[in-house]
Amino acid sequence: MVRFNLKWTFVFALCLISLKLSAQDDDLLGDEPSVHIDNRVNFAFKTTKVINLQSLELLGPGVFDFKMNHRFGAFNNGPINAFGLDLATIRFGGEYGINRNLMAGIGRSNVSGSKNVDGYLKYRVFQQTSDNKKPFSLLLFYGIENKIGPSYSDVNSSKRLTSVAQVIIGRKFNETFSAQFSPSYVMGYNSSNAAFNQVALGLGMRMKLTMRTTLNAEWIPILTNKGLVRNSASVGFDIETGGHVFQVHFTNSSGLNEAQFISNTNDTWDTYGIRFGFNLSRVFTIVSPSKFK
């Protein structure tokens, strides 16, 4: 039964891609020049996310991106839970471009009965240029998660927090292929209120399939203090329709922010602990770009 569900999930994903190819012809990113006048290389990824990981992209200044992330239950929990609502996790959030090199985000999520609020900053140190004077892009990321709700009412406030620092390094090799790696450091408290810290290495890639469809993949091996935590691995498609980017994917992570999918992934692909999910991204221009010139 599990193999049957897995097969039909992939069929469903392929149907979504087929629907996309005949969808409306509006474009979010594809008609933009990939190289600006000052030789900056743009659009290594379609959104600010690879799948779970933060990508090389930042929002433009004055732009707000509403994000909804959803994961269904794992396949090894059976068809009702895998495609129903009972074991689903969800996150609503938003990102805003403060200037050309700085972006901020905030979100609210649930995972395994835990209620979470997260916030983050993402800063671009420098950007890849077409003349290879800067052969890659370098960004810094810092995020924090705070657990809330009645189950944490007796927990010291400092022990509800988990912080994540990342260095994001990557390159758009050509119009088809982009890759990045994201050394990460996570510091927080586990469910037993014991302090922990972990070093992980996020690896991500994007391969362009059509003007508005890409294949994305990522793997996040934990290098220290792994314990019972599993490495997160994900694969999916970015589908661009009008002003939306719809990311459909398969992952063994239930968590929806860095503290969760790096340090709190418990399922594995070989035991069919795979979840079907999607990220929906919709951008709005809040402040005219001319205000930042």
pLDDT in tens, 231-261: 999 999 999 887 688 999 999 999 999 999 9
Of 5, 6, 28, 25, which is closest to residue 238 (Cα–Cα)? 28
Partners of 239 in the beta sheet? 213, 246
> What's the pLDDT band for 86 if we cut at 50, 70, 90?
confident
Domains defined along the chain, listed by start: 2-68+93-292 (2.40.160.40)
Percent of the chain with pLDDT over 90: 64
Residue with tokens 């770009």: 289
pLDDT at 3 over 70: no
Q: Is the Cβ–Cβ distance between 93 and 217 less than 8 Å? A: no
Res 114: pLDDT: 82
Of 259, 269, 117, 91, which is closest to residue 184 (Cα–Cα)? 259
Of 69, 74, 43, 132, which is closest to residue 281 (Cα–Cα)? 69
| Mean of pLDDT values over 206-230 | 94
pTM: 0.85
d(C-alpha 109, C-alpha 121), whole Å: 18
> What's the pLDDT band for 109 if we cut at 50, 70, 90?
very high
141 φ/ψ sector (left φ>0, alpha ψ -120 to 50, else beta)? beta
d(C-alpha 91, C-alpha 60), whole Å: 23
| Mean of pLDDT values over 173-178 | 96
Res 157: pLDDT: 80
Of 212, 202, 205, 211, which is closest to residue 238 (Cα–Cα)? 212
Res 20: pLDDT: 40
pLDDT in tens, 17-50: 443 433 333 334 444 456 566 789 999 999 999 9
> What's the pLDDT band for 152 if we cut at 50, 70, 90?
confident
Cα 170 off chain centre by? 15
In this structure, the number of other CB atoms found within 10 A of the CB of residue 166 comes to 23
pLDDT at 134 over 60: yes
